[in-house]
Amino acid sequence: MLKVVLVSDHVIRPFNERARDLRIQNMPLWLIQRDALAPYITREIELTADETLPSTRGPCIIYRDNLYFDPEYIAAFVHEAVRRGTACQAAFTIDNPTFREHALPLSRSYTHTGDFYLADLWYYPEGPAAEAEPLVVDTLTTEIGYYRIPAYMATQGGELVFQVPLRGLLAIDSWVHIFIADVVYGVFSRGARFEHRIAREPFLKLGILFSGMMEGRQVLETGRLVQIGRGCQIDPTAVIHGPTTIGDNVTIGAGVVIENSIIGNDVNISQGCQVMLSVIGDGSFLPFRAALFMTTLMENSMVAQNTCLQMCVIGRNTFIGAGTTFTDFNLIPKPLRALDGEERLSPSGRSVLGGCVGHNCRLGSGLVIMPARTIESDVVLIGSNERRIIETDIRFRDSDHHRLSVGRLHTRQYPPPGADKTESW
C-alpha cells in the first residue's frame, strides 16, 4: 500500500518547530507515524503544500504529518475502511468524550461538517478520489480519575478525570496537545490497555502473580510490568512501579520513586527524585529531590534539585534551575487559557495545567511560573528582584541575555520561520 505524507508547515509555539519533529513519548512524531503504519505500507512519498496528489491506482493511505495515532487506532481504521471498500476519512463526533475534552480544544486541524469533525487521515482503495465518507472509529474510551480536589480548586469539586482512549488519534496543534499525547494518550492509555488485557486474559494475570513470587517483589514491580534496558544501574532502595519502560544506560539513585513512566536512554535520576506518569527524554538529568508529575521532559534537558513540575512540557537541551516553581491552577477559579493552533489564547479545557518551556532555554533558580504560561525557545531568564514571577508568555525578545555583556555566549538555535538565527550585538 502507498503512503502519502502531507507536510504541514505549521510550527508549534513555544518550540518554533513543526509537530513532526517534536518528541512524543520520547520518539519523534514522524517515527511514531512510520512504526504504526509499517505493517500496511510498501512505499511512501511526501508532498508539500504546493504539490498535488499523485495519480495512482491501488490502495493508499494519506495523512497530515502533525497527526499522532497509535497502532490500535490505525489497525481499526484500516480494517473498517478495507471492509467497506470505499474512500474513507477519519472522523469524530462531538459525543466522543475523548475528542470533545482532549482533542478539540485549542485545535485547528479538524474540519467541521454536519455531525462530524474530519481529521486529515484518508484511505482510498483505488487511489485518491474526490469524495470520501466519514469513518468513525470507536476509541474505546475509559474514564480515569487522577486525583480528588477541593471545591476551591475548580468550579466543581470532586475528582479530576481524563477520558482515556484505548485507540487514539490526535492532531498536534498546540503544546497542550503534546501533554495530552504523552499523558492521556500515552502513559494513561498504556495502563488502561494493560488492565483491559488482565481482565480478558486470566493466564496473563496468573503469569504476573507467578513472576512476583519468583522475583520476590510486589506485583507492580515485576519484570512483566517494568522493562529495563541494558547497562542500567538501579539502587536497590528505588521503588519502580509499572507499567514502566526504562531505556539503556540509565542510572537511578537511592530512594527514587517511579510510577507508570517512560524513561529514555542515558538518563540520570539522582537520590530522592519522584517521577510519576511522566516521560523523560534521552540524556536527561534529574539531580536530587526533583519531582515530575504528568510532565514531559524532552531529550538532553535538566531539572535541578527541589523543583516540582506538574502537567508541564519542557523542550530539549533546556535547564530548569533549583527551586523553580510551576504553578498549575488559578487561585480564583477562572478557566485556564493556553496558546491554540492559531497562536491565540483560548480556553484549554483543563482545570489544572502547568507551563511549557521551549528548546535551548536556561531558567534560573527560584522563579515562579503562573499556570499555562509559555517560554519561547532560546530564552534565558535570570531570577532577580525585578524578574521573579512570570505572569505572561515570554518571547525571545524578552530574554534576559539581551541585556548582558556576555549574552553573545548564548546562541539562538530555534528561531521561528522567517527569522534570522544570527543576532547583532
Whether residue 116 lies inside any domain: the answer is: yes
Quick one: DSSP state of residue 54? P
Q: Sheet holding 279-280: strands in order across?
A: 226-228, 244-246, 262-263, 279-280, 296-297, 313-314, 356-357, 374-375
Verify that 232 and 376 share a domain, yes or no. yes
Residue with more model confidence, 419 or 207? 207
pLDDT tens-digit readout, 284-293 = 999 999 999 9
Verify that 126 and 233 share a domain, yes or no. no
Verify that 265 and 402 share a domain, yes or no. yes
**Exposed, middle or buried, 127 (CB in 10 Å: 0-12/13-18/19+)?**
middle
- The number of helices, as runs of H, and strands, as runs of E, in the chain is 6, 41
Whether residue 86 lies inside any domain: the answer is: yes
92 touches 137 (CB < 8 A): no
pLDDT value of position 381: 94
Arithmetic mean of pLDDT over the chain: 90
Whether residue 153 lies inside any domain: the answer is: no
Does residue 62 surpass a pLDDT of 80? yes
User: Quick one: residue 94, left, alpha or beta (phi over 0 = left, psi -120 to 50 = alpha)?
Assistant: alpha
Least confident interval from 81-90, 154-163, 181-190, 328-337: 154-163
pLDDT band per the 50, 70, 90 thresholds, residue 195? confident
Does residue 343 surpass a pLDDT of 90? no
Whether residue 423 lies inside any domain: the answer is: no
Residue with more model confidence, 205 or 120? 120
Least confident interval from 194-203, 223-232, 246-255, 277-286: 194-203
Does residue 229 surpass a pLDDT of 70? yes
| Prediction pTM value | 0.93
Average pLDDT score over residue span 12-19: 95
Least confident interval from 96-110, 113-127, 199-213, 307-321: 199-213
CB atoms within 10 A of CB 56: 15
Average pLDDT score over residue span 206-228: 80
Does residue 164 surpass a pLDDT of 50? yes
pLDDT value of position 185: 97
Number of domains the chain is built from? 2
Tell me the chain's radius of gyration from C-alpha atoms: 22
Please report, for the domain that includes residue 37, its CATH number.
3.90.550.10
Please report, for the domain that includes residue 364, its CATH number.
2.160.10.10
Distances (CA, A) of 400 to 16, 115, 313, 368, 389: 19, 49, 21, 16, 14
Alpha-carbon distance of 341 to 344, in angstroms, equals: 7
pLDDT value of position 424: 46
Does residue 425 surpass a pLDDT of 50? no
Average pLDDT score over residue span 148-166: 72
User: How much of the chain, in percent, has pLDDT values that exceed 70?
Assistant: 96
Verify that 127 and 242 share a domain, yes or no. no
Whether residue 52 lies inside any domain: the answer is: yes
Does residue 155 surpass a pLDDT of 80? no
Share in percent of the chain as helix, strand, coil (round to 5): 20, 30, 50
Alpha-carbon distance of 240 to 28, in angstroms, equals: 26
Retrieve residue 24's grid coordinates. Answer: 512524543
- Domain of 76 in residue numbering reads as 2-140+167-173
Alpha-carbon distance of 249 to 285, in angstroms, equals: 13
pLDDT tens-digit readout, 298-323 = 999 999 999 999 999 999 999 999 99
Average pLDDT score over residue span 327-335: 82
Verify that 114 and 237 share a domain, yes or no. no
